[in-house]
Structures are given as structure tokens and as C-alpha cells.
Structure 1
């Protein structure tokens, strides 16, 4: 007769309660982001900005939102700590700091862009769930249009204002080249907002964006025509490891490098396509090299985005060891050196969400 000994693990009820509390916070934050986004899209935040203490009826009138929805939205934002509430008068007010973020077109564009992408992730999760099991990928072309649009919105809000005014001027001699007339390539250009911004700021330069996603390229061409820069800002369907052209003065990877199936091959191709005195601007999300240094809200967002979007996209392109959304500066520097770049430096600009590296031969 065999006797089995069962070991029971005693679980501390207080630890269970604390864990459930954290899960509840996550659930509330997920729902809250959608409420915040609705406030942006319907003009609720702008309606409150500078308005002082307002009743739900007044907020509804100022925003054009139906009163029952405005009332519940105000209650939610009060519970979230974004709106102040006076219980005696039953009025609500938007603090100046909240107005500076949520009623501002640039700041709210970043929030709105990421909110759109997160909503799209929920729609696309059936594909991702299957990929988790199979080890396969989910390509950018398989995502919903809402995801593509959300990325474009975030790019327009975060990247476009800084790229021509701050980031490029911080690169050694690059702004002067662009003013005189240079050749620029953007790898993984998406809807083209970043490159169109460069084309508007430096009209003497010839700019070309590459992306494997034909629907994005079609949209980028329309955007360039609308912006009146199609004569010198063009877009083509091409892969990051084989895009055409040579002697580029500036090559951009704007939050796309980690999504590639073979980022090292892409950098090696770029090294060959670059002019002898050319520059690569590699823009990635701000992350530390070690996991233990990314245990914060930004790290949570990046690792979730990595598993749900970026790693899935890299695997769809044949990656065997994807970089992930948070590779860190050490890994990026290592790849740049392996690709043949000898001068690698961190660009000293204010970019809270991004890490910028300047690569030269």
C-alpha cells in the first residue's frame, strides 16, 4: 500500500485581499481609460476647461453631450481624481493640471491614440490568444483599422511636434543638410505623419517613407497630397531589409525598430544605404536595460504592448528572438555596433516617453 503525503500551502487572506485590490485597480483603470477617451472625443474635457464650477446640465450644454451621460461621466472622473466635486452645490470643476493634459490637443492626442490602440487590442485579442498557443505571429496588416489610426494619432501628437523642432536640430549638422536639401528615408513610416512633418519643415529635402503595409502607404500618400508636400515627400511599399535607394543623409526608425522581424539585417541594410557622412535617428520607447528597473507603470505598458502587439508583429515577419518593446539602450547599442556603426550616442533632448540614439558610420 502506497501512502501519499499531501502538502497544503497556507494562503494568507490578507495577501489574497491585497491581490484582489490590485486586480480591481487594473479593471477600474481599463474602464477608466475608455471614459477618458470618450471625454476627449466628445469634447467634455474642453467644455470644462476654464469654466469654473459647473453643474452636469451646464457641462452637457457646453459639450453637446446628453445630460445623463455627462452626469455619470463627471461622477466617474471625480472617483478617478481628475475632476473636483463640491458636494454642497453638486457642481464639478476641472483642475488646471488636468486641463493642461486632457483639454490640450497634443497631450490628449497621445492619450487618445493609445486608448484607440488598446481598444483595438481587445478586438484583435482572438488572434493574439491563438498566437500565444501556436507561437505564430500577428502582423500589422492583420490588425483592425482602429489600431492603425490610433498609432497615427499618437504619432501626430507626440512625435511630429518634436521631430523637426527639437530632435533633428539636436543631431550633429543634420538640420543644416536638410535646409540645403538632403535625402531622407523613414523605415516603417505607417501613415506618414512624421515624414510629412519633416517635409513641411524642410521643403528643399527629398523624403521617402517605406512600409511593408500597403494600406498604410496608400493612406500616407493621401496625407502627403492633402498637406501639399507630395512633390517631395513620397511613400513606397518596401521591406525594412531591402528598401531601395542609396546615399541617404538621414534614415529614421521612429518606434518601429523593435517591431521588425530581423532588426540587425535592417540596420545592416541601412548602413549600406547611408551616405558616408549620413545619420540614423533611432527612436525607441524609454526603457531601462534590466527588467528590475522597468517595474513601474511605463514598464507595465511596454511589456503588455510587447506581448500583445510588437513581439507578435516581429514573429509574423519571421523573428526567432524578437527584441520586444523595451530592449533598452545597451541592446540597441550592441546591435548598432554589430551592424557596422562606430559612433553611437544618446541624443540629449527632452523626450519623456522615448529614447533617441544617433548612429553614424
Structure 2
């Protein structure tokens, strides 16, 4: 629905839309349950199954599984027969709900999104208090579940698109193959950094993040993967080196979360060798909230929703925080931050295959 049409809605139309949000909230909880209990993966393996078959496969109570199946079929996330006795998944449903990784890992997998939504809910009292005090929550205040959910969502892009995307930057692939110093600022659970480190063993990779939960995940993955050319660092404990050390730095979907991105970009500029580059990958938005609401209301509703729950909160978690929010890192904002930080060149990159993201390349 276009924003201009909302004022003409009847009570019934508004109630229908509200009830759709209610249904969506309940469905997201049940998607999380299905994901965490392995119900989707088990149903995929079984092919067509009764509730008893699926319950036995997952060692769960049949009556609970049956009710879950009824809801998922009603939500069109699963298929069922005319008697609602047999249940199965289409290829698309498997890709979105079951095929997270491995040989059949799908670029369409969305299970991590449900984990993020459910992980946020326990923090609602703290978020309401933030409305009163103005001070937001740090990422670790939400617990480890949010860090894992973000990792699972972002990893879909990492596994299927990150290398190809980065290799579109002129000259970057060649320099990584020869061997350079690289830093990921806001590395989260580190999957992107580790993917690059495996692909380019002659280069050295440093991942920086302030989340203890995310860094714990990253260090565990580092050990599991046996990567030897990467390390993870908390900048609160070991600040960024102001000595022109790095040849390439990047941040994926994190600058808008920072309380003081102006200070961070100045620190990044000090870390880069002369002529080195810094890539910002962040949420695509119009230049004003009014344009977001009018031109892409569906995207904006989701983006401002996650922003109020998490991203804005992170951006206001320190005194004087800028509080950009999910859709606040517009091109004019990035341009101003870049030149204020001392970057000499600014370029918006195009044709990167993700219309939901912006790519900005800054040069020292």
C-alpha cells in the first residue's frame, strides 16, 4: 500500500492489515521453533510425512508437532494434502527454511531472520526504558542469540556473493593474491573475514568488533576452520593503530549501528596507508525519511522496525551518539563523514547486484 493511500482506508481494511501483522508475529515465533528444533530439516529428509513421522524423527511430542504443522501449512510455509494428514516442502520452501549451508546451501535462506526477531523480544522492557532515558542498548545487551541470528543472515550473502562482490573492485583481487594487510571494522562473528582469509592465504586479516558475544563466535570459527592468517580484536582493548598499517579496510552493514561513526572513520583513515581504500557496504535508503516512507513503504516498515529495536539503540548507546538508525547512512551523510575524516576521494559503486545495499569506496 502506498503511503498516500493509507488515509483512505476503512476500519475493516486497517483491521485486516493489523491482523496480518499479528499473524506474522506469531508465525515468526513458530518459524524460529521449527528452525531450532530441526523440524524443517527433518521434513525435507522425510519427503512427505505425517505429524507422527515428523515427531518421531525429531523426538518430539506428536500433538505439538501436529499443531505446528497446521499453522505452517496455513501460513503457506509448508504444503499439505486435502485431509491435512501428509505434509511436505516445495523446493522454494526448502531453500528459504532448511537449506542453510552445505552442498545445498541456498542464497534464499532466511532462518537467521527469525532468530534475530525472537532474540530481540526479551529486551523490550529495556527498549521502553531507552525511550524514557534516551540511552540505547549495546548489541551484547540482547544476548548471544542476536549475534548468532545476524551471523546466520549475513552468512547467506557471505557464502554466495561476498567474494564475487569484492572482486569487482578494480585491482583488489590482484593485491589480495599478492599479499596485503586487511581489516574488517565491525566484523561481527567473523564469517566474512574468514572467507576472505581462506580465499587469499598470502594476505593478513584483522577483524575488529566490540561485541564479546560476536568475538567469541568468531574465535571459535577461526579454530574450527583452521585459518592461520586472521585474528580478531576488540578495539576497546586494543585500539586501531594510527600508523598507516592497512592496505584495504571494509565495513559491512555496521556503520549505521555505530554511536560515533565520525570518530570511527577518522580512526580508519589513520590506519590506512596513503592511497589505500575503505569500502562501506550499508543499507540502501533514500535521502530523507519522507522519501523512504512514500517510495518504499514495505522496506521502510521493516528497516525502521529493526532500527527501533536494535540499530538506533546501538547508535544511541553512548553519550552523544549520532543515532543514525538503519536507514540513516544516506549518501550525503557518508560523503560528509568521509571528507570530515580526511579521505581524499569518494565514489559510490554501482552494479553490485544488491539493490538493498549501497557500496561506497573511500580512498585515503
TM-score by length of 1: 0.86
Q: CA deviation at 1:35?
A: 1.3
Q: 2:107 touches 2:160 (CA, 8 Å); kept in 1? A: no
State the secondary structure of the residue aligned to 2:129.
helix
Deviations 1:50-74 (A, max 9, x none): 7654433333345554322222122
| Structure 2 CA distance for partners of 1:341 and 1:81, relative to 1, 3 Å | farther
Q: 1:240 touches 1:266 (CA, 8 Å); kept in 2? A: no
Q: CA deviation at 1:273?
A: 1.7
Q: What is the number of residues matched between the two proteins?
A: 348
Distance in 1, matches of 2:273 and 2:350, equals 20
| Structure 2 CA distance for partners of 1:306 and 1:240, relative to 1, 3 Å | farther
Is 1:324 aligned to residue 325 of structure 2? Answer: yes
Q: 1:40 touches 1:108 (CA, 8 Å); kept in 2? A: no
Distance in 2, matches of 1:63 and 1:180, equals 49
Distance in 2, matches of 1:89 and 1:211, equals 48
**Which residue is equivalent to 2:3?**
none
Distance in 2, matches of 1:107 and 1:285, equals 22
Is 1:112 aligned to residue 149 of structure 2? Answer: no
Q: 1:47 touches 1:63 (CA, 8 Å); kept in 2? A: yes
Deviations 1:181-214 (A, max 9, x none): 1101111222222211111111111111112234
State the secondary structure of the residue aligned to 1:49.
helix
Deviations 1:323-360 (A, max 9, x none): 11112334333433443242312242223543322222
**Which residue is equivalent to 2:144?**
145
Distance in 2, matches of 1:93 and 1:220, equals 35
**Which residue is equivalent to 2:38?**
43
**Which residue is equivalent to 1:125?**
124
**Which residue is equivalent to 2:352?**
349
State the secondary structure of the residue aligned to 2:353.
coil
Distance in 1, matches of 2:43 and 2:212, equals 41
- Return 5+ residue gaps in structure 1 as ranges: 1-11
Distance in 2, matches of 1:323 and 1:226, equals 36
Deviates more, 1:335-344 or 1:169-178: 335-344
Q: 1:247 touches 1:278 (CA, 8 Å); kept in 2? A: no
**Which residue is equivalent to 1:255?**
253
| Structure 2 CA distance for partners of 1:266 and 1:90, relative to 1, 3 Å | same
| Structure 2 CA distance for partners of 1:186 and 1:298, relative to 1, 3 Å | same
- Return 5+ residue gaps in structure 2 as ranges: 1-6
**Which residue is equivalent to 1:297?**
298
Distance in 2, matches of 1:107 and 1:296, equals 27
Distance in 1, matches of 2:148 and 2:347, equals 33
| Structure 2 CA distance for partners of 1:111 and 1:352, relative to 1, 3 Å | farther
State the secondary structure of the residue aligned to 1:291.
helix
Q: CA deviation at 1:39?
A: 2.1
| Structure 2 CA distance for partners of 1:90 and 1:183, relative to 1, 3 Å | same
2:51 to 51, 56, 65: 56
Deviations 1:277-304 (A, max 9, x none): 3221211123333323554333212111
Distance in 2, matches of 1:52 and 1:147, equals 31
Q: 1:185 touches 1:210 (CA, 8 Å); kept in 2? A: yes
Q: 1:166 touches 1:349 (CA, 8 Å); kept in 2? A: no
Distance in 1, matches of 2:217 and 2:158, equals 18
Distance in 1, matches of 2:107 and 2:173, equals 29
- Greater Rg, structure 1 or structure 2? 1
Cα RMSD for the two superposed structures: 2.8
Distance in 2, matches of 1:294 and 1:287, equals 10
1:30 to 19, 25, 34: 25
Is 1:15 aligned to residue 10 of structure 2? Answer: yes
Q: 1:186 touches 1:210 (CA, 8 Å); kept in 2? A: yes
**Which residue is equivalent to 1:238?**
235
1:358 to 349, 356, 361: 361
| Structure 2 CA distance for partners of 1:79 and 1:311, relative to 1, 3 Å | same
State the secondary structure of the residue aligned to 1:159.
helix
State the secondary structure of the residue aligned to 2:281.
strand
State the secondary structure of the residue aligned to 1:359.
strand
**Which residue is equivalent to 1:176?**
174
Deviates more, 1:237-246 or 1:20-29: 237-246
1:220-239 maps to which residues of 2 (within 5 A)? 220-229=218-227, 231-238=228-235
